[in-house]
Structure 1
Amino acid sequence: MAVYYLMMVFMFLVGAYVFCSKRKHLLMALLSLEFMVLITFMMLFIFLNFFSCELFFSMVFLVFSVCEGALGLSILVSMIRTHGNDFFQSFVILQC
């Protein structure tokens, strides 16, 4: 059981590393965030299943993660429509 947790913590840290290192593109940041959410869901599912708890909280977690993904994709689409790409260098915050 501990090997699974160590493997998932390693995968979570790899996702956090990719999130920190690939900050030029918004799409890469969103993909690494979704990867981290999926690893967190797997850890939560195994933890709740190990203690024979209800799995209702995992469904609530999935609903919030889907809402987070939809919000990120809508921001990505609006950024591509206004600026033409998803580079953060071309996105000037001070410009209205």
Structure 2
Amino acid sequence: MLLDYVILFSMLSGIIVFCSTRKHLMLSLLSLEYMVLCLFLFLFIVMLNYGGELYFTLIFLVFTVCEGALGLSILVSLVRSQGNDYLSSMSILSW
């Protein structure tokens, strides 16, 4: 029961950091990965408590790695085209 509240607090702190990050894309990506890690921990605990199959957590991790690779590719593309990772330098027209 206490672990559920700790995970919920961690998830909410990750959401607050993600919403307050306005300068660097790298900080936004790190806060997204932190939230995904909290979600994975919560999913793992729920699957253990209710006797579910843990293969679903493996599939979740695969999608998490794909999301991380996509975020890093966007970061590399932004740094190569703009020279920095500021969110203010991103524009829809430059893609």
Give the alignment's TM-score, normalised by structure 2: 0.94
Unaligned runs of 5+ in 2: none
Tell me how far 1:95 sits from its aligned partner: 4.1
- State the match for 1:6 in structure 2: 5
Which amino acid is 2:75 matched to? L
Partner of 2:91: 92
1:65 maps onto 2:85 in alignment: no
Tell me which residue corresponds to 2:48.
49
| Counterpart residue type for residue 47 of structure 1 | V
Identity between Structure 1 and Structure 2 (%): 53
- How much does 1:93 deviate? 2.8
Amino acid at match of 1:7: V
**For the aligned residues, what is the CA RMSD?**
1.1
The secondary structure found in structure 2 opposite 1:89 is helix
Quote the residue 1:29 is aligned against: 28
Post-superposition shift, 1:65?
A: 0.5
Matches of 1:13 and 1:85, distance apart in 2: 29
Q: For residue 28 of structure 2, what is the amino acid of its counterpart?
A: A
Per the alignment, residue 76 of structure 1 pairs with 75
**How far 1:92 sits from its partner (Å)?**
3.1
1:76 Cα deviation after fit: 0.1
How far off is 1:52 after superposition? 1.6
State how far apart, in whole Å, the 2-side matches of 1:39 and 1:29 are. Answer: 15
Name the TM-score, length of structure 1 as normaliser: 0.94
**Where does structure 1 lack aligned partners over 5 or more consecutive residues?**
none
Report the Cα distance in structure 1 between the residues aligned to 2:92 and 2:49, rounded to whole angstroms. Answer: 46
Flag the structure with higher helix content.
2
